[in-house]
Copies of this chain bind each other. A is one copy, B any other.
């Protein structure tokens, strides 16, 4: 699998929808209604996106969320990091971070770094706008990870 979390998938859908709409400020309930996703879920996604400053939340009545940047400048890597944490195939992120008590014994220490960097670069080269496409005006009622292909 290597599959990313469902929330990440929702985030792409939500961001795509936000970018498609002309209204700059959109409420979580409104986005939920337009995407067909559950409202609490959309709210959670937007909260996380706001923490990463990918969207900006405005409180109060008539509040809502708006994109801080155009979709074309939001990379897939950013979104994944926001939900799944640092992009690294193993937990020994970049071989730094001390704390692994068996560091001096770990034979593969540091050797995953090139792999992780390669993946990071691949994900940083794709923007949400690329994923959203442009011609598809569908209602985004469904997400991409509906089921898994058995190995």
Interface residues of chain A, those whose CB is within 8 Å of chain B, are 1-4, 9, 12-13, 16, 76, 80, 84-93, 97, 99-102, 105-109, 111-112, 114-115, 118-119, 122-123, 125-126, 130-133, 136, 138-151
Contact = CB atoms under 8 A, between A and B. Distances in A.
Contact of A12 (B16, B108, B109, B140): B108
Report, nearest first, the 10 A-B pairs whose CB atoms are least far apart: A85-B151, A118-B122, A102-B142, A91-B145, A107-B136, A90-B144, A91-B148, A105-B138, A90-B145, A111-B131
Nearest to A105: B138
Q: Which among A89, A107, A147 has the highest number of chain B CB atoms within 10 Å?
A: A107
Q: How many copies does the complex hold?
A: 2
A90 B126 CA distance: 15
A2 B88 CA distance: 6
Contacts of A90: 3-4, 9, 144-145
B92 A145 contact: yes
A126 to B, nearest CB: 6
Contact of A2 (B2, B13, B136, B148): B2
A108 to B, nearest CB: 5
Contact of A88 (B1, B93, B112, B133): B1
A101 to B, nearest CB: 8
Contacts of A107: 13, 16, 132-133, 136, 138, 140
